[in-house]
A = this chain, B = another copy of it.
Amino acid sequence: MASQGFWPFGAEDGGDNTRAWCQAAQKFTGGLGSKLCGIPARKQQEAGVESCGCNKPCGCYKSNIDFSVLYSTDLLPASEGEVATLSFLQEVVDILLPYIVQTFDRSTKVIDFRYPNELLQENNWELSDNPETLEDILLNCRTSLKYAIKTGHPRYFNQLSTGLDMVGLAADWLTSTANTNMFTYEIAPVFVLLEHVTLKKMREIIGWPDGKGDGIFSPGGSISNMYAMLVARYKMFPEVKEKGMSAVPRLIAFTSEHSHFSIKKGAAALGIGTDSVVLVKVDERKIISDIHTCFIFQGYVPFFVSATAGTTVYGAFDPLIAIADVCRKYKIWMHVDGAWGGSLIMSRKHRWKLNGIDRANSVTWNPHKMMSVPLQCSALLIREEGLMQKCNQMHACYLFQQDKHYDLSYDTGDKALQCGRHVDIFKLWLMWRAKGTIGFEAQIDKCLELSEYLYNKIKNREGYEMIFDGKPQHTNVCFWYIPPSLRYVEDKDERMKRLHKVAPVIKARMMEYGTTMVSYQPQGDKVNFFRMVISNPAASFEDIDFLIEEIERLGQDL
């Protein structure tokens, strides 16, 4: 049931919250209190809320509070700080809410771009010995948002993570308010259980029997991939934990040349070395088609194959079944980096691209990308239960007491590399409840439909050249825009040299106008091209049309 009217705390709690406010207001005996309680009792009757005998404010926490004379020390836990606190926090919310509305308003800019030096010169952002007033703090909040990127804007296509989900945002505000971490059940009972429930659900969707296995929410896809490599190494050579790499043979890992750089970063960090990561050649987008021939490195032990489900630039999916066969034959850990493409498994229409994922030993799946969960939310899923715990646990009895009064299997801290771990689960879980699996599916299908629309629109359009043939597998549409002056240049080198400079200029102009943002990059022997991706449920056909018009507007003179 919705609350009944004008009151800051709903009536649906039987008046408990209403009373809490009134007690707070009554405690505040100064001028502020009487101002806040000065709203006529008539309003209470109109709203049908039971009277508590005090003149309660009507939702207007901030009435007449002069923040220019208040400091953070006037807020809770300050004695009688309740009213100032509620007013201050409501004031902050009242800065955030219009920003959220504007985020989805196509007439607002995606970005009000300033160069680093401009921002530093125009703003005094130094940290000093003395405090600022709360008025200054609120001003700092406004300024920070003024120059922020509206990552939920329907025309922000710059990253794999875009969009601003309202339920996810609400969940993140709640997570901040709960201010705990995932270390033990004791300090995060609900979040620990929700992680348990959600990881199991994700494993079921992957197709592992009964959803059994293990997993963790980690600080991003790169760390998830590193975890996978760490656990794979431990599985093959458990002695590495105590003895280090000197006790094991030279290892070698395989991934495609289009895989994410985190595979090499992970190998460098884990002491395996980047030279031990073989980047298998790809045939245009068809990847790891001939992985067999790679396993002839004398004296090296292959231990890890990372198949990519949705490459960063092309959005291509490695052939998972073929890779699974190879891994089975050679008894190698099969990891699927589905940071970007893993979410397609939620779509009945597109999940075939992930066929074979159920044969993986581990999967990275970032709901903060294609599912629009607020940053950060990355899951690493592991097929074998208990392995992660064995790999990482240090049995620190001062952290994980073994004589506590509840089921200690929920104290998951020792299986992580981290000690305290940020609560990333609630936003995903709450969004899942709000959308259902079919809601995520609809959202994902829509983004893929938009990318197909874009592809169809430009594949034969004058001034465009596609980077690869055929329909994109994910929402990645990669293309060159060829300005009129370049369309008839016959010298190939000259043409490539000039084309290389086109995308950076158009991108810089996009940011200066603030109308849209899309990524560009070179890849291999291909000069700078646009990589369009769509993960934002706010985007529409109209926005795709706009992007094309804008590229042409900004690039026609080049």
Contact = CB atoms under 8 A, between A and B. Distances in A.
A21 interface: yes
A473 to B, nearest CB: 17
A269 B230 contact: yes
B246 A245 contact: yes
Contact of A434 (B71, B82, B517): B71
Contact of A145 (B132, B170, B174, B198): B174
Interface string A127-148: 1111110111100111111011
A426 interface: yes
A66 B114 CA distance: 43
A389 interface: no
Contacts of A251: 244
Interface string A68-97: 100111011100001001101111111111
Nearest to A102: B20
A304 to B, nearest CB: 13
Contact of A187 (B103, B119, B130, B158): B158
A180 B375 contact: yes
Interface in A384-438: 391-392, 394, 396-399, 401, 403-407, 410, 417-423, 426, 429-438
Contact of A135 (B2, B159, B185, B431): B2
16 contacts: A2-B135, A58-B60, A76-B100, A82-B101, A90-B93, A95-B174, A119-B190, A144-B174, A149-B180, A220-B421, A222-B417, A222-B419, A243-B273, A243-B275, A244-B245, A399-B521
Which of A270, A420, A523 counts the most B-chain CB atoms under 10 A from its CB? A420
A289 interface: no
A502 to B, nearest CB: 11
B137 A72 contact: no
Size range of the chain A interface in the assembly: 35 or more
A88 B170 contact: yes
**What 9 A-B pairs have minimum CB-CB distances, sorted nearest first?**
A271-B271, A244-B273, A77-B538, A245-B245, A219-B219, A245-B271, A405-B508, A172-B176, A72-B434
Nearest to A133: B434
A243 B113 CA distance: 42
A459 interface: no
Contact of A438 (B20, B130, B250): B130
Contacts of A170: 88-89, 92, 137, 141
Given A85-B166, A230-B269, A268-B392, 5 more contacts: A8-B97, A89-B97, A137-B433, A147-B190, A266-B417
A100 B119 contact: no
A272 interface: yes
B179 A164 contact: yes
A388 to B, nearest CB: 12
A68 to B, nearest CB: 7
B422 A376 contact: yes
A198 B127 contact: yes
A102 to B, nearest CB: 6
Contacts of A120: 193
Nearest to A374: B179
A115 B2 contact: no
A381 interface: no
A197 B508 contact: no
A555 interface: no
A101 B116 contact: no
Nearest to A540: B77
A181 B159 CA distance: 10
Contacts of A113: 189
Interface stretch (A256-264, A323-331, A354-362): A256-264
A6 interface: yes
A246 B250 contact: yes
Given A2-B64, A101-B86, A374-B179, A129 B436 contact: yes
Contact of A397 (B104, B422, B522): B522
Nearest to A93: B93
A223 interface: yes
A221 B413 CA distance: 14
Given A166-B85, A397-B522, A439-B72, A244 B276 contact: yes
A517 B172 CA distance: 25
Contacts of A73: 435, 439
A273 B261 contact: no
